[in-house]
Amino acid sequence: MTRIFAYYSLGFVFILLQTALFPRFLPFFLKPDLLLVLIIYLGLNENYVRGGVLAYLLGCLLDVFAGNYLGLYGVACLATVFVVRGVADRLNTESSLLLLVLVFCGTFLQGIVLFFALGLFADAGPLLALFFGQLLPQALLNLAAALLLLQVVSALQRRFAPRSELPGLRHLNNRYGS
C-alpha cells in the first residue's frame, strides 16, 4: 500500500512539474514526459496486474491535466506498461541503461498508441503531422530527462539511504561492487 501511494505521489509531483514548472523555462509545448519514465519503471519492476492498474490510474491522472479526453492516457500508459512487462523477462532489468533505452522507445510506442486511439475513437483533427513531426524531439527530451532523473535518484539514494536499493536502479552494480 505504501508503495502504491509512493508511486501515485511521485506521479502527481511529476505532473505538477510538467504543467507548472517546465513551461517556465522550456520552449512552448515541448516538455519532458517524466510520467513515462515512471510507467517504464513500473513495467520493469511490477507484475502485470499491479503494474497495469497503477499505470492506468496514473494515465487517468495525467488525462486530467492533458488534452481533452479522459482515459486516453490511461489506455496509452496501460499499453506501454504491458509491452514493457512483456519484453522485461527477456532483458536485464537491473541495468539502468535499459531504462533509458526503453524510455526512448516508449515515447514512440506511446505516441503511436495515442495517435491510433485518437484517430479511431475521437474527432481529433490533423494529428499525423503534429505527432510525427514532434516524436523524435520528444523522445530525445524524454531520454535526457530520464538520464537526469537517474543521476538525481542515484545521488539521493547514496546520500540518504546508502544501504537500501531501489529495484532496477544499479542493483547489479551495487551487488557486484562494479
Residues at the contact surface with other proteins, assessed by CB under 8 A:
15, 18-20, 23, 27-31, 33, 35, 62, 64-68, 73, 111, 114, 122-127, 129-131, 133-134, 138
Closer residue to other proteins in complex, CB, 126/162: 126
Q: How far is the CB of 162 from other proteins (least distance, A)?
A: 34
Distance CA 145, CA 21 (A): 14
Please report how close the Cβ of residue 15 comes to other proteins at its closest, in angstroms: 5
In the bound state with other proteins, the residue whose beta carbon lies nearer, of 148 and 155, is: 148
Asked if residue 69 lies in contact with residue 63, where contact means CB atoms within 8 angstroms, the answer is: yes
CB of 175 vs other proteins, minimal distance in Å: 36
Count other C-beta atoms under 10 Å from residue 71's C-beta: 14
Q: In the Cβ-directed half-sphere of 175, how many Cα atoms lie within 13 Å? A: 10
Nearer to other proteins, 31 or 85 (CB): 31
DSSP letter at 17 equals I
How far apart CA 115 and CA 129 sit, in angstroms, is 11
Can you tell me the distance from the alpha carbon of 119 to that of 126, in angstroms, rounded to the nearest whole number?
Answer: 9
CB of 66 to other proteins, least distance (A): 4
Nearer to other proteins, 53 or 67 (CB): 67
